[in-house]
Amino acid sequence: MLSFHKRPFFAPHSSLVYPQPACAGWLRGAARYFLQFLSFSLLLYFLTAWPLLAEHTRRWRQSSYEEFLKGTAHGVAVRSDGRLELAPKFTLLADADASYLWSVRLDSKGTLYAAGGSPAKVFRFDSNAKPTAVFDSSDLSAQAIAFDAKGVLYVGTSPDGKVYKVSASGEKSVFFDPKTKYIWDLAFAPDGTLYVATGDKGQLFAVTPDGKGELLHSRSGV
């Protein structure tokens, strides 16, 4: 315990002075610092606690498709009946110099090809996803692509409505002309027959390896 004794003494000019203890100034400074720290702590507490006082925990339930559409889905897909499912994750595989791509196929070696426009182009992508144009046309779009058993590329264009055969050297020639606007899809059968789905007359053709076509089906307006 500290104890202090006040002993008066006379300083010059006959003034009566009581000496102050050496630690008194330190105690006053510490007290002032503590009060400042306490004031700052209280201010900080009220500033951070105020939003909690202004809000409270709320619960709500969403179960319909329309309700979920008001939000933004991240990583989930919303079904028409309101159920949620994990959504597919999209990863950029390659980027072609085209406004849009209509058809994507792999050849027998696993090389990726993509058809699009405009104008009509077909791209081949190497192992580094670098595109190379292997077919181009003045037509608006390359709508469909297919490969025969030998790996030869066939391209259907629109709205010119022709099927082109593209050689390994890149030379193209008209393989089949159905006299219609659109080539919607191409598919080879095991016997080498090329099936050509067209529009706007909704016609399906079977084309032999020498380019002769036979109408199998027709439906107007498709």
Q: What is the CA radius of gyration of the chain?
A: 41
- pLDDT band (50, 70, 90) for residue 44: low
The amino acid sitting at 168 is A
Pairwise CA distance, residues 218 & 102, whole Å: 23
In this structure, what DSSP letter does residue 126 have? -
Beta pairing class for 131-136 and 141-147: unpaired
Pairwise CA distance, residues 184 & 33, whole Å: 82
- The single residue listed with the structure tokens 């319909």 is 64
- pLDDT band (50, 70, 90) for residue 11: very low
**What pLDDT does residue 194 have?**
98
Q: CA-based angle 110:127:120, to the nearest 5?
A: 75
- Beta carbons of 189 and 214 less than 8 angstroms apart: no
Pairwise CA distance, residues 213 & 9, whole Å: 130
Closest by Cα among 207, 206, 203 to 218: 203
- pLDDT band (50, 70, 90) for residue 166: very high
Average pLDDT along the chain = 81
The correct answer on CATH 3.40.50.970 for the domain covering 100-218 is: no
- Domain ranges for the chain, please list them: 20-54, 60-88, 100-218
Low-confidence winner among 32-36, 117-121, 194-198 (lowest mean pLDDT): 32-36
Beta pairing class for 100-106 and 112-117: antiparallel
Q: Would residue 181 be called left, alpha or beta, if left means φ above 0 and alpha means ψ between -120 and 50 degrees?
A: alpha
Pairwise CA distance, residues 194 & 208, whole Å: 6
Number of neighbours of residue 90 by Cβ within 10 angstroms:
6
User: Which two three-digit tokens encode residue 195?
Assistant: 């099936």
pLDDT tens for 103-144 read 999 999 999 999 998 899 999 999 999 999 999 999 999 999
Asked if residue 101 has pLDDT above 60, the reply is: yes
Torsion sign, CA atoms 36, 38, 39, 43: positive
- pLDDT band (50, 70, 90) for residue 18: very low
